[in-house]
Amino acid sequence: MEGPWVGNWRPHPRRGPILAEFSTPGPKYWLPGLTGHMAHDPTRDRAPAYSFRGTKAPSTDNCSPGPRYFIQPSITKTGKYVPPTALLLGRSKSKIEVTPGPSDYLTELANKHVYYTAPSNHMVFRRKDLKGFRTPGPGTYSLPRILGPHTAYTHAEPCYSMTGKSKYQSCFQDVAKTPGPAAFARVDLDVYKTRAPKFSM
């Protein structure tokens, strides 16, 4: 702790060693060493250290069975090896006392799946569930147009419109109804020729 004031100076605990207090060459030997694993200088690289242990003492209680037990040759590291053999067992008892005989089966229907047969059509009655449906007849639908530019599913060819001949410049044109030369104004020469320079006074 800091002491009482002495004038303008107050004593305080020292922040480091004082060289005058040592009889040795100085506090430079307080630096951590560079050898060993413990208390090594953190500013230098430290090599890996390995520990050498002694031989493990033998255990007094041995848990292995020892050589007194005989292991069969069929026992391997993956389990018991058993060669393939045939099993001879008796016939199992069936709970059904009366079984069907050969005359109870009909094999004629399966001949069409075994032998080659000619194609044949089956005539059967209409199913009853189809009577409830009221589907529209053939006259209800109309075919889409296949002529003209606006077709539904066909490629339309180019379509041309046929109109009458115009009376313009024909013998049937009434020339008296057309405007004469005096009906048009005089066109300025500067429109279709090189315009001359103009000056304002």
Which pLDDT belongs to residue 158?
75
The pLDDT value recorded for residue 62 is 59
CA 177 to chain centre: 80
Domain presence at residue 107: no
Give pTM, 2 decimals: 0.16
User: What is the C-alpha separation between 109 and 104, in angstroms, rounded?
Assistant: 14
Return the structure tokens found at 63: 């848990």
CA distance 130 to 125: 11
Q: What range does the domain containing 36 cover?
A: 18-42
User: Using CA atoms, how far apart are residues 143 and 152, in angstroms rounded to an integer?
Assistant: 10
Number of domains in the chain: 1
Whether residue 104 is contained in a domain is answered as no
66: left (phi over 0), alpha (psi -120 to 50) or beta: left
In the prediction, which pLDDT does 61 show?
Answer: 63
Place of tokens 């067992």: 89
| DSSP state letters, 72-85 | PTTEETTEE-----
Tens-binned pLDDT, residue by residue, of the chain (201 aa) = 567 788 888 877 777 777 677 676 655 666 788 888 888 888 888 888 777 777 776 666 656 666 666 778 888 888 888 888 888 888 888 788 788 888 888 888 888 888 888 888 878 877 776 656 677 877 888 887 777 777 877 887 777 777 777 777 777 777 777 777 788 888 888 888 888 888 877
Evaluate whether residue 37 is within a structural domain.
yes
Provide the 8-state DSSP code for 163: -
Position 165 scores a pLDDT of 78
Residue 27, domain member (yes or no): yes
Residue 32 lies in a domain: yes
* Distances, alpha carbon 47 to alpha carbons 30, 40, 44, 51, 53, in Å: 22, 10, 10, 13, 19
Report the pLDDT value the prediction gives residue 68, as an integer from 0 to 100. Answer: 61
First to last CA, the chain: 113
26 within a domain of the structure (yes/no): yes
- Coil vs helix vs strand at 6: strand
